[in-house]
């Protein structure tokens, strides 16, 4: 899978999302570059408030005021810039090209509508024709793909367990065969066993549909099992991208190193290091590298210079002055 010739499905360049508040502008997504390959499972991690949800909402034009997309492009493989879509094109793009399983998805189901009706409504709203029977057959097939029995179509959300609701949301998300599935902490509210089962289903679906999945989460263990590549966000910046094995074995950014070493393991039971220092204020960000006030390896120039991107092989990059040689300054991966 580490093939430099892998085809790119989505090329995100210089993505900027700002929240304009009374206390100033928060750069929630700060000049993010990311290429997602066709058919890959990519994991996006980072502490709360680092901009993970904001980044995926931007791709679907779902940022609400006071937020706005302040810059950048997101070029899909057919050449369309998702960020420049307007009006009806935005809606058409959703589900067909890009679908989302939102954070807290289980609560996004309509409580007064049967599951089957919700899924067929979604299909019809996207202009797909069909008789009642044809739609019902499609619903059954979609439920089957997420390992739910056909009878579930007749049930209301409150009659489903948390895991079943989450599966129903996934069925709805894949109803129009998207090429990219954005899954925002799809299992965070569920118990560990159900989490693993749902991740397994998502993985099988991704393989069947040959879709790309961008999975957002905090749980590094779950990420390590699911993803082929991971990206680490800090304060709206994507500070490191790499293959899951490389990032876990040999993290390059000091923040990633701290994240990895804070994962409890059998060998280090009881020692939970955590990450020193307080979280960053986006309204009053430090100069230079955003991580420098918490970075154990900070150098004098880290409070002054902003790091660019330094390539790490063919699959990733890091944004840290420790890795920047004079000639690679500002180079993009």
Ligand X SMILES: Nc1ncnc2c1ncn2[C@@H]1O[C@H](COP(=O)(O)OP(=O)(O)OP(=O)(O)O)[C@@H](O)[C@H]1O
Interacting residues toward ligand X by CB under 6 A: 19, 21, 26, 28, 46, 48-54, 66-67, 103, 282
Least Å distance, CB 15 to Mg ion, is: 16
**Binding-site partner at residue 54 among ligand X, Mg ion, none, CB < 5 to 8 Å by type:** ligand X
**Binding-site partner at residue 227 among Mg ion, ligand X, none, CB < 5 to 8 Å by type:** none
51: nearest Cα among 69, 29, 67: 29
What backbone torsions phi and psi does residue 321 show, to the nearest 5 degrees? -65, -25
Q: Is 307 exposed, middle or buried (0-12, 13-18, 19+ CB in 10 A)?
A: buried
Selected range binding Mg ion among 15-23, 32-40, 45-53, 131-139, rule: CB under 5 A: 45-53
Q: Is 50 in the site for Mg ion (CB under 5 A)?
A: no
Least Å distance, CB 234 to ligand X, is: 10
C-beta contacts of 306-312 below 8 A and 24+ residues apart? 308/332, 309/33, 309/333, 312/240, 312/241, 312/242, 312/246, 312/252
Least Å distance, CB 51 to Mg ion, is: 8
Closer to ligand X at the Cβ: 104 or 330?
Answer: 104
Closer to ligand X at the Cβ: 52 or 323?
Answer: 52
Least Å distance, CB 227 to ligand X, is: 16
Pairing label, strands 98-101, 67-76: unpaired
**Binding-site partner at residue 28 among ligand X, Mg ion, none, CB < 5 to 8 Å by type:** ligand X
Rounded CA separation 41/211 (Å): 9
Closer to ligand X at the Cβ: 142 or 232?
Answer: 232
Closer to Mg ion at the Cβ: 53 or 256?
Answer: 53
237: nearest Cα among 302, 306, 298, 174: 306
**Binding-site partner at residue 51 among Mg ion, ligand X, none, CB < 5 to 8 Å by type:** ligand X
**Binding-site partner at residue 282 among Mg ion, ligand X, none, CB < 5 to 8 Å by type:** ligand X
Selected range binding Mg ion among 1-9, 49-57, 131-139, 233-241, rule: CB under 5 A: 49-57
Q: Within the chain, where are the H helices?
A: 52-59, 88-96, 115-125, 132-145, 162-173, 192-209, 220-226, 244-249, 254-261
Closer to Mg ion at the Cβ: 53 or 166?
Answer: 53
Closer to Mg ion at the Cβ: 53 or 118?
Answer: 53
Q: Which of 30, 35, 50, 53 is in the footprint of Mg ion by CB under 5 A?
A: 53
Strand order, beta sheet including 41-45:
98-101, 180-184, 212-216, 41-45, 229-234, 237-243, 316-318, 310-312
Closer to Mg ion at the Cβ: 58 or 318?
Answer: 58
How many binding residues for Mg ion (CB under 5 A)? Answer: 1
Closer to Mg ion at the Cβ: 53 or 201?
Answer: 53
What backbone torsions phi and psi does residue 124 show, to the nearest 5 degrees? -70, -35
**122 neighbors 113 (Cβ within 8 angstroms):** no
Dihedral of CA atoms 11, 13, 19, 24 in degrees, nearest 10, equals: 170
Token pair, residue 28, equals 């929630």
Least Å distance, CB 100 to ligand X, is: 13
**Binding-site partner at residue 50 among ligand X, Mg ion, none, CB < 5 to 8 Å by type:** ligand X
Interface ranges with Mg ion (CB under 5 A): 53
């Amino acid at each position: 899978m580490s093939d430099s010739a892998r085809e790119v499905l989505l090329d995100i360049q210089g993505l900027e999302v700002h929240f304009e508040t009374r206390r100033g502008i928060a750069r929630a997504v700060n000049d993010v570059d990311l290429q997602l390959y066709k058919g890959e499972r990519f994991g996006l991690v980072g502490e709360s408030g680092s901009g993970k949800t904001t980044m995926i909402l931007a791709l679907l034009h779902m940022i609400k005021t006071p937020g706005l997309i302040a810059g950048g492009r997101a070029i899909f493989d057919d050449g369309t810039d998702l960020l420049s879509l307007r009006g009806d094109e935005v809606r058409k793009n959703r589900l067909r090209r890009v679908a989302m399983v939102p954070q807290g998805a289980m609560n996004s189901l309509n409580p007064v509508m049967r599951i089957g009706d919700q899924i067929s409504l979604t299909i019809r709203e996207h202009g797909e024709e069909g008789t009642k029977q044809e739609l019902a057959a499609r619903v059954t097939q979609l439920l089957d793909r997420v390992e739910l029995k056909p009878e579930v179509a007749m049930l209301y959300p409150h009659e489903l367990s948390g895991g079943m609701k989450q599966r129903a949301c996934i069925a709805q998300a894949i109803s129009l065969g998207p090429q990219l599935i954005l899954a925002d902490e799809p299992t965070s509210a569920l118990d560990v066993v159900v989490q693993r089962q749902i991740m397994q289903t998502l993985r099988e679906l991704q393989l069947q549909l040959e879709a790309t999945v961008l999975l957002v989460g905090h749980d590094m263990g779950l990420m390590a099992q699911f993803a082929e590549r991971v990206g680490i966000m800090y304060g709206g910046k994507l500070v490191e991208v790499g293959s899951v094995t490389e990032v876990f074995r040999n993290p390059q950014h000091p923040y990633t190193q701290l994240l990895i070493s804070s994962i409890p393991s059998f060998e280090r039971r009881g020692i939970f290091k955590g990450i020193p220092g307080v979280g960053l204020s986006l309204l009053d960000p430090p100069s230079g590298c955003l991580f420098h006030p918490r970075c154990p390896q900070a150098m004098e120039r880290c409070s002054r210079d902003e790091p660019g991107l330094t390539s790490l092989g063919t699959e990733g990059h890091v944004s840290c002055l420790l890795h920047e040689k004079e000639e690679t300054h500002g180079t993009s991966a």
